[in-house]
């Protein structure tokens, strides 16, 4: 503690992205999403049309409760682990270590946006299609259970995880808060609580299913906040340039 | 913390780090744009985009270009101002189309069983190419906002004409004249979209027949000009690199 670690001669530039790590994230998320989608294909039409039937409880409400338990457990474990294993000597890490941790942060961000795609694009628009084949008799439809209470909590898990990782592992983020990072994580996080407004509106006024109805615009405004990832990268990039500067001016052809 | 020490020593290592960063940041940018832009667009103009019988001369032509320019303008600021990359609008629109097509094919067709030609999304790439090109040539947000956004609105309907024209052929159905698009909406039942919430042109006593599309497109272009500047500003606000000690 306190002693700056010696710079070693290890070449850190190889394998920074961690192709294996990225591939694992990619395929785990993909497999999870496909599993949800297949489950819907199999059981939505058969067991998901009438929420007052006993089989709806078995196939859909039980899925909902299972998801809730798994999500709360996963959030407690992942976030708790990140905080528990925080680097208590974070201001004394080597430049090599800091560079590698930046790429780990970027892997977290990749997991975050890869799930955001499934939530905000795939399953969100899927909900529009289900609204057109049923007149819903519950707030917990087969598409809502997966979208609001399955996929959205997943990206919140990854988003907050990325924030905690940076806060506990990277000197730049440990000593102060990045406002664009807060916005890019907290805004999409708030899409889930905004379901409160949405269902309240749908429950007390029959809004038909106009998808562009004003009751949905809360989601839109919160979706805009994902653009703040641009600001975050504008904070990350100068630091990485500092970490990769060379003693003397060298130029190399980067066009390959 | 004083002077930052470098993590590398050779130009080759530097090159490798930069390439690694490029290759991971590109998918991140693409994915977040698809997600965020899609949820914005589907909840502001989605109904017109979902259904062939909502693609009318007045509302679709007006609303789509206006709400569609939000993210392209924001990304114009981020990409052009900071990286001199001239493809913000095209990346947005191509990403949106990718997200829409996956969802239409897998969900609207594959789950809800609507025919694909009923739920085909609007064509938006030509507008994006023009907007980006004007920025690239003029190198000015002002010129892009005024001229590019106006063209953006004006060419939306022509860009889609070739796709939707076959659905505007008239048919006589049970004694009534319907377009093919109307007939598709009538045939493939949508529980959430009764006819009376379909927001399309119904005619007014102040409308002069043939001018509906040109007037709507021109109006859409005009509003897009303002929307462009507002969203360049929002793009700027969200690209600010602010640090604080505590919240």
Asked if pLDDT for residue A39 goes beyond 90, the answer is yes
Query: Who has greater pLDDT, A209 or B161?
Result: B161
- In a 3-state reduction of DSSP, which class is residue A13? coil
> For the whole model, what pTM was predicted?
0.94
pLDDT digits (tens, 9 = 90+) for A131-171: 999 888 888 999 999 999 999 999 999 999 999 999 999 99
H or E stretch covering B244: strand B243-244
Tell me if chain B has a CB within 8 Å of the CB of A39. Answer: no
For chain B positions 65-84, those within 8 Å of chain A (CB to CB) are 70-71, 74-75, 78, 82
pLDDT digits (tens), chain B, 247 positions: 456 788 888 889 999 999 999 999 999 999 999 999 999 999 999 999 999 999 999 999 999 999 999 999 999 999 999 999 999 999 999 999 999 999 999 999 999 999 999 999 999 999 999 999 999 999 999 999 999 999 999 999 999 999 999 999 999 999 999 999 999 999 999 988 888 889 999 999 998 878 999 999 999 999 999 999 999 999 999 999 999 998 8
In 3D space, the residue among A77, A252, A109, A244 whose CA is nearest the CA of residue A173 turns out to be A109
Judged by CB atoms closer than 8 Å, whether chains meet at A106 and B111 is answered as: no
Judged by CB atoms closer than 8 Å, whether chains meet at A41 and B110 is answered as: yes
Q: How close, in Å, is residue A75 to chain B by CA atoms?
A: 22
- Residue from the list A7, A216, A254 with its beta carbon closest to the beta carbon of B15: A254
Q: From the candidates A211, A232, A241, A255, which should be mutated to test the interface with B, based on the most B CB atoms within 10 A?
A: A211
Q: What angle do CA B236, B241, B242 make, to 5 degrees?
A: 110
**Integer CA distances (angstroms), B245 to A83, B35, B41, in order:** 19, 31, 36
Judged by CB atoms closer than 8 Å, whether chains meet at A211 and B43 is answered as: yes
Judged by CB atoms closer than 8 Å, whether chains meet at B246 and A229 is answered as: no
Q: How close, in Å, is residue B38 to chain A by CA atoms?
A: 5
Judged by CB atoms closer than 8 Å, whether chains meet at B111 and A179 is answered as: no
Rounded CA-CA distance A242/B3 in Å is 9
Judged by CB atoms closer than 8 Å, whether chains meet at B192 and A209 is answered as: yes
Nearest residue in chain A measured CA to CA from B236? A231
Tell me, what's the pLDDT at B197?
A: 87
Q: From the candidates B2, B16, B17, which should be mutated to test the interface with A, based on the most A CB atoms within 10 A?
A: B17
Query: Six-digit token pair at B167?
Result: 């659905």
A188 touches A195 (CB < 8 A):
no
ipTM: 0.94
Chain A / chain B CB contacts < 8 angstroms? 257
Nearest residue in chain B measured CA to CA from A39? B111
Tell me if chain B has a CB within 8 Å of the CB of A111. Answer: no
B233 touches B70 (CB < 8 A):
no
């Amino acid at each position: 503690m306190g002693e700056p670690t010696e710079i070693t001669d290890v070449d850190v530039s190889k394998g920074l992205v961690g192709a294996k790590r990225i591939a694992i994230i990619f395929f785990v998320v993909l497999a999870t999403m496909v599993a949800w989608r297949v489950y819907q294909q199999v059981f939505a039409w058969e067991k998901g049309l009438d929420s007052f039937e006993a089989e709806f409880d078995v196939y859909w409400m039980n899925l909902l409760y299972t998801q809730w338990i798994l999500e709360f457990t996963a959030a407690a474990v992942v976030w708790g682990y990140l905080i528990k294993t925080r680097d208590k000597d974070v201001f004394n890490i080597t430049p090599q270590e800091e560079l590698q941790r930046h790429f780990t942060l970027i892997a977290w961000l990749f997991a975050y946006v890869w799930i955001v795609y499934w939530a905000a694009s795939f399953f969100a628009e899927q909900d529009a299609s289900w609204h057109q084949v049923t007149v819903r008799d519950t707030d917990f439809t087969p598409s809502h259970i997966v979208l609001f209470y399955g996929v959205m909590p997943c990206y919140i898990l990854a988003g907050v995880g990325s924030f905690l990782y940076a806060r506990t592992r990277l000197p730049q983020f440990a000593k102060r808060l990045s406002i664009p990072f807060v916005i890019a994580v907290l805004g999409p996080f708030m899409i889930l609580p905004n379901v409160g407004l949405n269902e309240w509106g749908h429950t007390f006024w029959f809004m038909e299913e106009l998808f562009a109805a004003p009751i949905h615009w809360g989601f839109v405004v919160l979706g805009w906040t994902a653009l703040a990832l641009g600001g975050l990268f504008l904070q990350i990039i100068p630091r990485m340039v500092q970490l990769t500067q060379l003693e003397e001016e060298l130029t190399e052809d980067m066009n390959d | 913390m004083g002077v930052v020490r470098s993590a590398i020593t050779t130009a080759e290592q530097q090159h490798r780090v930069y390439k690694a960063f490029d290759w991971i940041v590109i998918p991140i940018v693409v994915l977040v744009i698809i997600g965020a832009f899609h949820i914005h667009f589907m909840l502001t103009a989605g109904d017109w985009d979902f259904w062939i019988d909502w693609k009318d001369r007045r509302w679709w032509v007006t609303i789509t270009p206006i709400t569609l320019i939000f993210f392209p303008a924001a990304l114009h600021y981020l990409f052009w101002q900071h990286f001199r990359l001239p493809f913000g609008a095209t990346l947005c629109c191509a990403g949106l189309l990718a997200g829409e097509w996956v969802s239409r094919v897998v969900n609207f067709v594959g789950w809800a069983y609507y025919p694909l030609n009923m739920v085909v999304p609007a064509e938006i790439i030509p507008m994006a190419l023009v907007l980006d090109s004007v920025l690239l040539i003029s190198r000015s947000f002002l010129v892009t906002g005024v001229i590019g956004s106006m063209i953006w609105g004006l060419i939306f309907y022509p860009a889609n004409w070739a796709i939707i024209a076959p659905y505007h052929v008239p048919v006589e159905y049970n004694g009534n004249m319907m377009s093919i698009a109307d007939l598709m909406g009538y045939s493939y039942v949508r529980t959430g979209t009764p006819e009376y919430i379909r927001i399309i042109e119904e005619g007014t006593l102040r409308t002069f027949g043939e001018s509906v599309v040109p007037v709507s497109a021109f109006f859409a272009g005009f509003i897009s000009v303002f929307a462009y500047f507002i969203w360049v500003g929002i793009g700027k606000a969200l690209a600010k690199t602010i640090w604080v000690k505590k919240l």
